[in-house]
Each structure stands twice: as C-alpha cells, then as structure tokens.
Amino acid sequence: MYLLLRKLLFALEAERAHRLTLALLEAGARFGVVRAPRRPPPLVTALAGLELPNPVGLAAGLDKDGRHIDALARLGFGFIEIGTTTPRAQAGNPRPRMFRLPEHSAIINRLGFNNAGVNALIANVERSRWRGVLGINIGKNRDTPNERAVQDYLYCLERVFPLASYITVNISSPNTQGLRDLQQESHLRRFIEILRERQEQLASQHRLTVPMLVKIAPDLDEGAMDGIAR
C-alpha cells in the first residue's frame, strides 16, 4: 500500500502532497478507517514535570494550526506538538518552498511560519477531543522586528497558556529573517527573563503549571550552546 501511495504522492508537488496526506488521515479517522493502535507495553517517560505515556512524539511543523489533533492522536503518539503559531496569520515564504531529496530520504522545508494565526489555532484546540500531552510552539510574525519580537511571543504565550501541556519558544527557524539572532546570549538573557516572568504570572492566574521550552538551531557550535545554556 505504501509503495502505491508513494507513487501517487510523489506525482504531486511536495506541499500539495503534504496537505492531501493530512486530509486523508482526517477522513480516515472520521470514518473509522484509522484506528488507535493496540496499547503497547508501558513506556511512561517523565519530562519537564510531565508524564508521557511513551517517549515518541510528533514535532511541530506537521500540523501548524492544530487542525488534525484527533486524527494524529490515533497514530499512538506519546505527545503531539502543534505550531509554529504567530500572533497574526501569515502566508510564509513564496512557493515553491518544499523540496524532496529522494536519494537521501529527506525533504528541505522553507515554509517560513505559514499559519492561520494563534486565534485559529486556539479554536481548533478547543474543538479537539484529545486530552493527551499537547505542546504548542510559538513564534513571531516575519514583519515584527527583533526589537519587538518579545511582544509577539508574550501575546502567543498568554493566549495558548491555558490550553497547552507545555509551550515551546521557537527561535531556531532559518526561514524567518533575523530570527536566529535572538539566540545570541546578549539578546536571549533578557528575552527569556521577560517570558519567564509572564509564565509565572500566568501560572498563578490560571493555577496551572505549564513548562516552557526553548527550541534552538541544530547546527550551533559548542560555544553558542554554552552561551544559551548560561
């Protein structure tokens, strides 16, 4: 079945194939074709104060707006992370922006935080029935200068806080110009201080403990990672 579907999907442009796959998954779940797998042996994993039923989760980026949470949950993930979401809807980078590398079983993604905005994501989360561990990944709009970036993150943090099991602050994407500059130690210290202060206020207001994670670039050298850790 996979080989047949692969030929069909590879006949389509990569981003269109991505949307079609999610639509088929949604339809399959709705009509009972996609069912939850048999319960595996217990692999409970503790992370950041959370208890995950198993350590295999779905990363952000596949379901940016949280449209398919219930369908994806049927695949047996221990947690699901949606996003990246931004305060306002944005189209992302010009197309084409996804490129297949079949010889490496890989894909290049240059989407650029295309999403329907944080309010649309919230509406989708509120409609979903899944009550597992849900991470929400937040970012800034591409036209927000870095000097005001923290305001975008604060806005998203405040909006998603009551709905998230954990929140990921995304400062790693190479597809939003200047975003990775926020990883510099001189900028990051104050940036994180502001977010942590608001996180604690929200925890008191909602009487919820919601861990906050920071997503950094995978290609940093040891010096840069040491600076971020400090």
Distance in Å from the first CA to the final CA of the chain: 49
Q: What is the dihedral of CA 82, 208, 48, 215, to 10 degrees?
A: 40
- Pick the catalytic residue from 128, 165, 172, 173: 173
Question: CA distances (Å), 153 to each of 21, 122, 138, 144, in order?
Answer: 30, 15, 7, 11
Catalytic annotation present for 173: yes
* DSSP string over 50-69: EEESSS-EEPTTSSTT-SSH
Mark 36-51 as b/e (b = at least 16 C-beta within 10 Å). eeeeeeeeeeeeeebe
What's the CA gap between 145 and 190, in Å, rounded? 16
**Eight-class DSSP state of 227:** H
| Burial of 211 (C-beta count, 10 Å sphere; 0-12/13-18/19+) | middle
Q: Which two tokens stand for residue 141?
A: 């709009």
Active site residues: 173
